[in-house]
Structure 1
């Protein structure tokens, strides 16, 4: 299963939207489309951040969401500007990268998620007059069950050419076997394919702030039918990436996802050790 439409996709979009109205400059990420994609939940979800934005769980949610997106989008844009012409967004949910980024005309972005998520997202983008793009290809599939390679190829993806793959806020909701299968599929793409993914750390590697967040949020996630299933140590993920045909470029903590100047803040956003990001490059077939 990919991300739950009613909880994780909405909560992530709400955190990105709330960053613009709750947190002080410097902005980490300017997602100007996120609020529109909240639909009739916008007032409720943003109001919660406005009223309780200093509450540690909400500020941690904003930090978690905007930091990973900023880091990943910077690496994706670097790859695209260096000549890569295919981008894959796994478990795209309400992500708006493809609709607010300065992409070359010959770049294609393949958004992978469940068809119900994609249908609602496209309706909301149309309703607010968001920039449409012939470069966005919607690939409806369930990451837990369906073949990623076959689904992408059926929609025009060329696995003989390198791609850059962004996979955020999803791996923890999948079983370990599904994560390994997806990594093996991406690792089998053309040499030079880049992957940027985040993953949750197991208990014992989290700091106190992260454990407080887990204690507050994990039960809610389970109640929404989306329990956190899979955690990795950095060494464990590095070994899995190697087995799946990748060389690790870098692994970063949340503090390292941003330039130091962006952590010189006068709001409640602070880095904490709940998750890490792995940036890897495929050796290819």
Structure 2
């Protein structure tokens, strides 16, 4: 459970959370919540398993407002890689909320379209020789295919990765297509168009070309325990995006 999200949102937390409570059954809002909850739970569960296997570095590629580093129960150093402007705003929100930045957290400024993430990380204390886990959520659709390929190819040997990606139209269900049509249009209006979609086989090939030998894909239904979908609210699994776990 994320106990820090409201505090990080600051002055707008009450307004934003109240809107979701009032309109929780709206299909767009419900799908957005479902995506974020499932992918975060899936990733943090895989991270915990990786730490048991010896992983000691956790890299969030496109960290956004992810709060893991500030409620971290694991023996792992966290690197938050994101656009410098986003990081500056996040650090301001953390300070306003009185949330301390742990010593084992580093902020790494990266532009995924132009920078080498691995170079930026090593400049900020990341050790490519130490077993590491990479989280890449909510980023791939906004990048060109070439940027996705280039970033994957730079991940160090032995890396473990969880990422999510958008399915093309013919692999989405009706609800997924309705969400994609509405949200991608708004994203484009705000200067952040969706640029890439992948079939699972395409993503598998890209990962294997980048050195990953073990690749598994998960849709929303399969990414969490089946019992968690036995519910009466508006949250339901959709065919919109996929999670991939690679080692």
Partner residue of 1:256 out of 222, 240, 245? 222
Question: Following TM superposition, by how much is the alpha carbon of 1:126 offset from its aligned partner in structure 2, in angstroms?
Answer: 2.2
Aligned residues of 1:248 and 1:278 also touching (Cα < 8 A): no
Matched, 1:163 2:132: yes
Which whole-Å CA distance do the structure 1 matches of 2:100 and 2:230 have between them?
33
Q: 2:17 aligns with which of 22, 46, 56?
A: 46
- In the TM superposition, what is the alpha-carbon distance from 1:53 to its structure 2 partner? 1.0
Question: CA shift at 1:131, angstroms?
Answer: 4.3
Query: What pairs up with 1:1-285 in 2 under 5 angstroms?
Result: 30-104=1-75, 107-186=76-155, 189-191=156-158, 193-281=159-247
- Which string of whole-angstrom CA distances, capped at 9 and with x for unpartnered residues, describes residues 177-224 of structure 1? 1100000011xx132x10000000001000111011112211111111
Residues of 2 paired with 1:249 and 1:142: CA distance?
A: 26
Mapped partners of 1:275, 1:228: distance in 2: 13
When structure 1 is superposed on structure 2, of 246-255 and 227-236 the one drifting more is 246-255
Q: List alignment gaps of at least 5 residues for structure 1.
A: 1-29
Give secondary structure in 2 for the equivalent of 1:204: helix
Displaced runs of 4 or more, over 3 A: none
Where structure 2 has 5 or more consecutive residues not aligned to the other structure, the ranges are none
Cα deviation for residue 81 of structure 1 reads 2.6
**In angstroms, what is the RMSD of aligned CA positions?**
1.2
Is residue 68–residue 168 contact of structure 1 (8 Å, CA) maintained in 2? Answer: yes
1:228-265 CA-to-partner distances (Å, cap 9, x unmatched) read 10000000000111111112331101101110111111
User: Does structure 2 retain, via aligned residues, the 8 Å contact 1:199–1:277?
Assistant: yes
Query: Could you tell me whether the CA contact under 8 Å between 1:241 and 1:248 is conserved in 2?
Result: no
Q: Decide which moves more: 39-48 or 263-272.
A: 39-48
Shift of 1:128: 1.7
Structure 1: distance between partners of 2:142 and 2:10: 24
Hey, what's the Cα distance between the residues in 1 that align with 2:15 and 2:147? 34
How far apart are the structure 1 equivalents of 2:180 and 2:19?
19
TM-score, scaled to structure 1: 0.84
